[in-house]
Amino acid sequence: MSDKAIRQIVIVGGGTAGWMTAAPLAQKLGKACEIVLIESPEIGTVGVGEATLPTIRYYNQALGLDAADFIKKTQATFKLGTEFRDWGHVGSRFFHAFGNFGPMIESRPAYMYWLRLKRDVKDMPSYEEWSTADAMSRAHRFVPPYGDQPSVTNSYSYGFQFDASLYAAYLRDYAVARGVTRIEGMVVDVEQHPETGFVTAVKLRDGRRFEGDLFVDCTGFRALLLEGVYKAGYEDWSAMLPCNSAQAMPCTNPDGPLVPYTRSTAQSAGWTWRIPLQHRMGNGHVYCDGFTTDAEATRVLEGVLEGAAIDAPRQLRFTPGRRRKSWIKNCVGVGLSTGFIEPLESTSINMIEMTVGWIVQFFPDRDCSPALADEFNRLLSQRYEYIRDFIILHYKLTNRDDSEFWRYCRNMAVPDILQHQIDLFRDSSRVAILDQQGFLEDSWVSILMGHGIFPEKNDPFIDLMDPGYLLDHFHKVRDSIRRAVDAMPDHAAFVKHVVGDDPAGRRAA
């Protein structure tokens, strides 16, 4: 080991971000490095981000987690995508599925051929009928993708819906078992090297002091190290993402099916979420307090509950945006300390996954090369901006004009690159993807066409295809999806199968 190798890592803050950081570092570094995580019971965690993207599976698999045990311990259900209600206009519904709209045809995406048929065929069915994930969601069915060759049975993906606090506890046990030391206490002072400015130690209220070579700021919105010590600065995106408040309120599971998706319903000054878990329903209301009151927001939230409230609404305040730098000297941030974008597309935990992955990729020695920090900051800032633009898209495309909030969203200025992406699709049906690790073509198409954007112009090569052949192809794919979904088990039954003692169930997850 190099004499400049990191010997001690201090993670300040627990919760989902802290333990998602500690677990892979403990797995990879083992006894080569001492890892300490300090968390205080006096500081609550946000802990409302319960829905995830499919990438969480790869994070779990990299840790070697047992899938069935994870699902059981976190009260998880499966997520095939997000249903959006009332976003384009009151009464509208569309589904952002984790998957595609059928196989490519002559190297062109299937949605382009659907657009061709929509132009020429009267009463052409919705493009969503060629999404296996959408069909599964409507039928409340679930099995993981299967089959070796491309087909309707593996044209979709899935994430999870789980209790974030249980997930943090699950990873805490994993990390502690691999040598991470958990310290309970409140950090009241931070010591720095007088010449380099590096953080050298943090001091707790009870006088204990913890030295380190690398410090990870998982202190949430406070950003105790990044902002408190280094004054990193914050880029405020409120003009383009006006929602700045949220209330979270769990309820009992209602009678009826356990659905394998998250629901987002647009309200007069924001939107409400509905996330089904095994043991309860997660609910929340994200809104802009400049267009409504907290009391009215509570009334709206209580009005959408489908079961009995388990707790009173929990109020959250936030400023959408990102830290200008998230790695400064020997301090690096993870989670809310680096920025926040509302959980409309379940990106919060995904951002933690990506951030921790970059920490591992650019893991420094004790000198903490500024070049490593610069590359980390570039990637993280870029990722925040990509997600920002995808979320803005949901608001900007609305046709709603029934409230001041939605009129503002329709007319607000958006980043030039996002406007280019919208214009490109309107004019040519093509999608410009800037982030190959994020939301790809089918996701953008889901949001664009879900809001009623159907371009008249198409790729000229599409018009060369015989429409009769195309129509026959689409009918066959849709029939295959229906047969496959009809043969799938009910989502609730599959969850019970997985968390049971049946070895087949453990393999299935």
Per-residue pLDDT, 506: 44
Report how far residue 483's alpha carbon sits from residue 153's, in angstroms, rounded to the nearest whole number. Answer: 10
* Per-chain mean pLDDT for the chain: 95
Distance CA 162, CA 412 (A): 34
pLDDT tens by residue, 446-500: 999 999 999 988 899 999 999 999 999 999 999 999 999 999 999 999 999 999 8
Residues in Cβ contact with 361 at an 8 Å cutoff, skipping those fewer than 6 apart:
none
Query: Is the separation of the CB atoms in 317 and 244 below 8 Å?
Result: yes
Task: Report d(CA 283, CA 267) in Å as an integer.
Answer: 14
Q: pLDDT class for 48, splitting at 50, 70, 90?
A: low
Strand ranges, E, within 268-310? 270-276, 281-287
Strands 159-161 and 77-79: antiparallel
Pairing of β 81-85 and β 262-267: parallel
pLDDT in tens, 134-164: 999 999 999 999 998 889 999 999 999 999 9
Question: Would you say residue 502 has pLDDT above 60?
Answer: no
Return the pLDDT at 241: 98
Residues in the chain: 509
- Would you state the pLDDT for residue 41? 86
Q: How far apart are CA 97 and CA 111, in angstroms?
A: 14
Fold classified for 8-50+163-235+322-386: FAD/NAD(P)-binding domain (3.50.50)
Confidence of residue 505 (pLDDT cuts 50, 70, 90): very low
Catalytic site includes residue 79: yes
In the chain, where the domains are located: 8-50+163-235+322-386, 245-317
Q: How many CA atoms lie within 13 A of 4 on its CB side?
A: 7
**14-46 burial, b for 16+ CB within 10 Å, e for fewer?**
bbbbbbbbbbbbbbebeeebbbbbbbbeeeebb
- Among 451, 448, 428, 446, smallest CA distance to 128 is for 446
Q: What phi and psi, each to the nearest 5 degrees, are found at residue 99? A: 160, -170
Conformational region of residue 184, where left means phi above 0, alpha means psi within -120 to 50, and beta covers everything else = beta
pLDDT of residue 89 exceeding 80, the answer is yes
The pLDDT of 4-9, averaged and rounded, is: 96
Residue 460, burial from CB neighbour count under 10 angstroms (0-12, 13-18, 19+): exposed
The amino acid present at 431, given as its one-letter code, is V
Residue of 72, 79, 329, 396 marked active site? 79
Tell me which of 300 and 503 has the higher pLDDT.
300
Closest CA to 15 of 171, 168, 217: 168
- pLDDT score of 20: 98
